[in-house]
Amino acid sequence: MNQKGWHKQVGWLYVLPALLLLLTFLIIPFCMSVNYSFTDYNMLTPGLKKFVGLQNYIQTLTDPVFIKSLRNILQFVVFIIPIQLGMALGLALIVNKKRPGNMFFKISFFAPNVVSLTVTAVLWMYIVNPDQGLLNNLLGLIHISPQPLLTSPKQAMFVIIGISAWQGAGYQMLIFLAGLQDIPHSLYEAAELDGANAWQRFRHITMPSLRPTTMMIMTTTLIAALNLMTQAMIMTQGGPDNATMTPIYYIYRTGFTDRQLGLASAMSVIYGIVIIFFTIIQRKVEGRAQKDD
Amino acid sequence: MVQIDLEHVYKKYEKAKDYSVTDFNLHINDEEFIVFVGPSGCGKSTTLRMIAGLEDISKGDLKIGGKRMNDLPAKDRDIAMVFQNYALYPHMSVYDNMAFGLKIRKTPKDVIDKKIKNAAKVLGLTEYLKRKPADLSGGQRQRVALGRAIVRDAPIFLMDEPLSNLDAKLRVSMRAEIAKIHHQLKTTTIYVTHDQVEAMTLADRIVIMKDGKIQQVGTPQEVYRHPVNVFVGSFIGSPAMNFCRVHLNGDHVVSDDGSMNFLLPEGRLKKLRQQGYQGKELVMGIRPEDIHAEQMFMETFPEDIATAEVTVSELLGAETQLYTNIGNNEVVCKVDSRDYVKPGVKVKLGFDMNKAHFFDPATEMTLD
């Protein structure tokens, strides 16, 4: 074998473990899902499954709950990305200044991230409980009447957005912090001597320097946001009136609670296409931003 | 008219035991080109940064145009600075890098454009205005950094080792460029370097620093010809001044091992005797160029000759540097290239005692 051919073989060998994992946990299950989505596969009667054509797809696309879940997730994405990124950047700016007790802040801001989603969701249920919750008590102190919060179809999603942002911001703060610390100090000094005040330095030095970091965080936030399930499952079970129903939770419920795996598979395929669509949009936005650079 | 006054300026960093800058006093005239020079850690950059407003002044006063500036933030001091690593804004084009300070000061667009095009012409950057700093060579980046300072029309330029990231050849040409720009703009400039050649070639006056203290302030000629102490003597000049311990015996200075025994000129002898150094130890300093190998010199000063063994000889073209041993002393001399000899050969060298320097061995201060 000539050397070039040998190099090629070694290259394949290096990617083999990753390929095997991808094949086992992504490609094969995906193909199975596509296959199931054309059947009436029910977990209780796997032996009786038969081909039903596009019936599952038609049912999904005419299911008002599924449509609503798509709308919900869109609302979630639109709000959580700016809120969580803003929070993360704000926290990073706070801990980036050298001041005593900085470690305490870093740990406090990061702590929500190491606690399991389930635990924080339960804790927050106490805080946002409409009757005896801490939040309504605090609002009472500033003479705001008690809010229904998770029991209101209008407010429930916003409560979940707030909690999710609080939980996720700590991790992203660390990434922003790394980005901030990568900016050479001399740039700030040069800008200061150029007459820039603190805001102008932030606007013209910090923001553009953080652009690659921001793009990366936006991508990961988007992916995490589209997978939203735990908070909704534990705190509201998708309610009230499906106001916090998310596609993943709905797929999970259809497949594993109602045991209609065929239908759930069709939902998965459709949601997969929606995610691809989101990704394409984001790529376009990112590409344009890089061109501007 | 911009005069800068530093009055009893001290700098101590938080948690540091000692002062980084101690009792710094200097008056800088309008249009003057001042160079702070000294080894790393001597406090030269710290002093510059205090003038810029990037470091707090621990004690003492900084006055610009007679006004106390200690508490004025850097952004309001109207000073332009060139950094060692250029500190160009990486996400902005060359044009925007230069325009930034003007935009912040709300200069009209057409004025900005004119200024940048002028500066770009002077610095040879016209064709690079649209490029990002990452697409430029080191020398071009340095020029952009200079351009950014020039377009501001600031009354004071500060330059912090601006050439030290460039290769030797580029450094020489940029040095000339900086000299030319100062000649044209006549902006009061403070330039920090550890390279004594840059200091000698650029400065109106040199400030030599060591351990946070000013050692000597003077024109390049003054500090070269009349160093106030051993440190200045050794720091200014290349190759460095030769030093050896001698005793003043009668009208001769004699090295400890007797290998050098030179007659002192009358005037110098008188001065040393008046200061009570007869029979005492001295540090003698002599520059490599004040040691001669020509027959003429030896005939004129027959009592100022020593025999040296050459260990290394470097032919530099017009001249030759000889590294020699005279007794226990290592002596470097710069002689005419015709006097080149091979290593291992013994040669006679004549010492120009009129140009020798004498220092007190304890204080290391000059006795001239």
Question: B266 with B327, same domain?
Answer: yes
Residues of B within 8 A of A187 (CB-CB) are 87, 89-90
- Is the Cβ of A189 closer than 8 Å to some Cβ of chain B? yes
A186·B87 Cβ contact <8 A: yes
Q: State whether residue B74 sits within 8 Å of chain A by CB.
A: yes
**Mode of pairing for the β-strands spanning B188-193 and B33-37:** parallel
Instruction: Specify if B367 maps to a domain.
Output: no
Q: Is A63 on the interface with B (CB under 8 A)?
A: no
Residue A131 has what pLDDT? 78
With respect to residue B365, please indicate whether it lies within any of the assigned structural domains. no
Q: Would B161 be classed as within a structural domain? A: yes
For residue range A91-101, list pLDDT tens digits in order. Answer: 899 888 888 88
Is the CB of B83 inside 8 Å of chain A's CB atoms? yes
CA-closest candidate to residue B158, choices B62, B52, B279, B87: B52
Q: Does one domain contain both B302 and B183?
A: no
| Chain A interface includes B85 (CB < 8 A) | yes
| List of chain B residues whose C-beta atoms are within 8 Å of the C-beta of residue A293 | 91
**B312 neighbors B331 (Cβ within 8 angstroms):** no
Give the least confident one: A136-145, A243-252, B289-298: A136-145
B175/B322 same-domain check: no
Q: What is the pTM of this model?
A: 0.80
Per-residue pLDDT tens over the stretch B155-178: 999 999 988 888 888 888 889 989
Q: Quick one: B337 and B212 in the same domain?
A: no
Q: Does the structure show a pLDDT above 70 at A233?
A: yes
Q: Residue B293 is part of a domain; what is its CATH number?
A: 2.40.50.140
Cα distances (angstroms) measured from residue B309 to each of A174, A230, B332: 65, 87, 11
Amino acid code (one letter) for A46: P
Instruction: Enumerate the residues of chain A whose CB falls inside 8 A of the CB of residue B101.
Output: 193-195
For residue A293, the chain B residue with the least C-alpha distance is B91
Q: Which CATH architecture has domain A55-292?
A: Orthogonal Bundle (1.10)
* pLDDT higher than threshold 80 for residue B59: yes
| pLDDT tens digits, B87-121 | 999 999 999 999 999 999 899 999 999 999 988 88
Domain enclosing residue B259, as ranges: 242-359
Which one of B184, B209, B235 terminates a domain? B235
B106 interaction partners in chain A (CB closer than 8 Å): none
Shared-domain flag, residues B323 and B218: no
Contact A193 B89 (CB under 8 A): no
Say what the pLDDT of residue A291 is.
Answer: 67
| The residue type at A82 | P
Question: What's the full length of chain B, in residues?
Answer: 368
Whether B132 and B188 share a structural domain: yes
CATH assignment of the domain containing B148: 3.40.50.300
The alpha-carbon gap from A192 to the nearest alpha carbon of chain B, in Å, equals: 5
Query: What is the structure's pLDDT at A7?
Result: 81
Chain B residues in contact with A197 (beta carbon < 8 A) = 75
Q: Flag whether residue A204 sits within 8 Å of chain B, measured between CB atoms.
A: yes
**Which residues of chain A neighbour B89 with C-beta distances below 8 Å?**
187, 190-191, 204-205, 208
- CA B20 to each of CA A151, A162, B37: distance values in angstroms, whole numbers, following the listed order: 64, 50, 15
Residues B335, B295: Cα–Cα separation, whole Å: 12
Amino acid at A204: H
Based on the fold, state whether residues B222 and B264 are members of the same structural domain.
Answer: no
Question: Are the beta carbons of A192 and B73 separated by less than 8 Å?
Answer: yes
Statement to judge: residues B333 and B353 lie in one domain: yes
Per domain, the residue ranges of chain A are 55-292
Residue A253 contacts by C-beta under 8 Å, 6 or more apart in sequence?
A: A238
A200 and B CB contact within 8 Å = yes
Pick the last residue of a domain from B171, B204, B235: B235
Domain boundary among B183, B210, B235: B235
Give a yes or no: residue B16 inside a domain.
yes
Residue with tokens 């250029």: B86
Mean pLDDT of the B59-63 span: 92
pLDDT over threshold 90, residue A40: no
8 Å CB contact of B81 and A193: yes
Q: Stretch B131-153: mean pLDDT, rounded?
A: 90
Tokens standing for B345?
């050969």
Do B218 and B187 reside in the same domain of the chain? yes
Total structural domains within chain B: 2
The predicted structure's pLDDT at residue B52: 92
The residue-averaged pLDDT of B309-324 equals 92
Contacts of A193 in chain B (CB under 8 A): 52-54, 74-75, 77, 79-81, 101
Residue B222 has pLDDT above 60, yes or no: yes
The reply to whether B338 and B251 lie within a common domain is: yes
Q: Are residues B354 and B226 in the same domain?
A: no
pLDDT (mean) for A31-55:
85
Answer yes or no: is pLDDT of A187 > 90.
yes
Domain-embedded: residue B126 = yes
How far is the C-alpha of A10 from the C-alpha of A6, rounded, in Å? 6
Q: Are B284 and B332 in the same domain?
A: yes
- Kindly state whether residue B364 falls inside one of the protein's structural domains: no
* pLDDT recorded at residue A293: 56
**CA nearest B52: which of B257, B189, B237, B254?**
B189
Note the ipTM here.
0.83
CB B33 within 8 A of CB B58: no
